[in-house]
């Protein structure tokens, strides 16, 4: 069953228990920590107007290195997505920070840190028809749009059977139906919906309501850093750094910098 986390307003995500005693690693013998990433996944990785590698993942890698006292040995290299696995295997980098999905198959190739970002499902409505929790009463029998064949369609039909699911083949058609009042709400990936809410196309029409809804069995386990199978100690060090960045508020600062419409 999905976790239905209800809040008065979305907040920057916290995935770490500040009281969990993760041991501080000793990486004094590590000659280098090179993160491998890509350039074509904004706002996570992209080239800015001056051709410099930028993005959430780039700043997160630098913050991890600073937390581990490895700033002088920290490197970030961008490669085509198809080259990441080979480059890590050849020792051309120590970690992949590029959004590799954590699945049964990928766990055969990598050891992962704990997830640093997850992607909740969210409902969106017109601002003029914004709804308050509990949504069950407000959306009972209402038309809710969703992308046909998506994990979110399966989740909507399985877990929110009290709405009338209306499937659309393209995101543009789904969003237009919401803006034109043909459906009462849209349901989908919170991150992608947040980008749309912040766009000129949305024109300030809509907002998140309810949720966020975290359901790994439908939408995956989120993003984690991948390292080679023999580097489990490095993965543990990354967990320590990510926990500390969360406790100190650094992660929240990065998140809000790159995701101006908070999808939590």
CATH class, domain 14-118+221-258, is alpha beta
CA separation for the pair 166, 144 (Å, rounded): 6
| Claim: this prediction has a pTM higher than 0.75 | yes
For 33-93, the DSSP string reads: EEEEE-SEETTTEEE-TTS-EESHHHHHHHHHHHHTT-GGGEEEEE--GGGHHHHHHTTS-
Separation of alpha carbons 245 and 205, rounded Å: 34
Q: Where in the chain is the domain with CATH 3.40.190.10?
A: 14-118+221-258, 121-219
Q: What is the predicted pLDDT for the residue at 11?
A: 60
Per-residue pLDDT of the chain (264 residues), as tens digits, is: 444 443 344 466 788 888 899 999 999 999 999 999 999 999 999 999 999 999 999 999 999 999 999 999 999 999 999 999 999 999 999 999 998 888 888 999 999 999 999 999 999 999 998 888 788 888 999 999 999 999 999 999 999 999 999 999 999 999 999 999 999 999 999 999 999 999 999 999 999 999 899 988 998 888 999 999 999 999 999 999 999 999 999 999 999 899 989 998
Which fold would CATH assign to domain 121-219? D-Maltodextrin-Binding Protein; domain 2 (3.40.190)
Residue 150 DSSP code: S
Cβ pair 2, 215 in contact under 8 A: yes
The residue count for the chain: 264
Closest CA to 207 of 231, 177, 179, 169: 179
């Amino acid at each position: 069953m999905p976790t239905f986390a209800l809040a008065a307003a979305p907040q920057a995500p916290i995935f770490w228990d500040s009281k969990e005693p993760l041991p501080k690693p000793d990486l004094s013998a590590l000659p280098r920590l090179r993160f491998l990433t890509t350039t074509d996944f904004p706002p996570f990785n992209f080239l800015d107007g001056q051709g410099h590698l930028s993005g959430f993942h780039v700043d997160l890698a630098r913050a991890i290195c600073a937390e581990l006292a490895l700033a002088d040995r920290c490197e970030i290299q961008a490669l085509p997505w198809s080259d990441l696995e080979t480059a890590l295997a050849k020792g051309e980098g120590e970690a992949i920070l590029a959004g590799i999905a954590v699945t049964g198959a990928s766990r055969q190739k990598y050891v992962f840190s704990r997830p640093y970002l997850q992607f909740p499902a969210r409902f969106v409505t017109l601002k003029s028809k914004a709804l308050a929790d509990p949504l069950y009463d407000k959306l009972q029998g209402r038309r809710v749009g969703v992308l046909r064949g998506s994990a979110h369609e399966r989740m909507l039909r399985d877990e929110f059977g009290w709405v009338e699911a209306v499937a659309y083949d393209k995101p543009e058609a789904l969003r237009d139906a919401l803006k034109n009042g043909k459906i009462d709400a849209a349901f989908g990936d919170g991150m992608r919906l947040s980008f749309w809410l912040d766009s000129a196309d949305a024109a300030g029409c809509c907002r998140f309501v309810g949720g966020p809804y975290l359901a790994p069995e439908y939408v995956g386990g989120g993003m984690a850093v991948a390292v080679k199978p023999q580097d489990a100690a490095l993965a543990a060090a990354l967990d320590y750094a990510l926990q500390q960045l969360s406790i100190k508020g650094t992660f929240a600062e990065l998140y809000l910098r790159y995701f101006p419409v908070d999808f939590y």
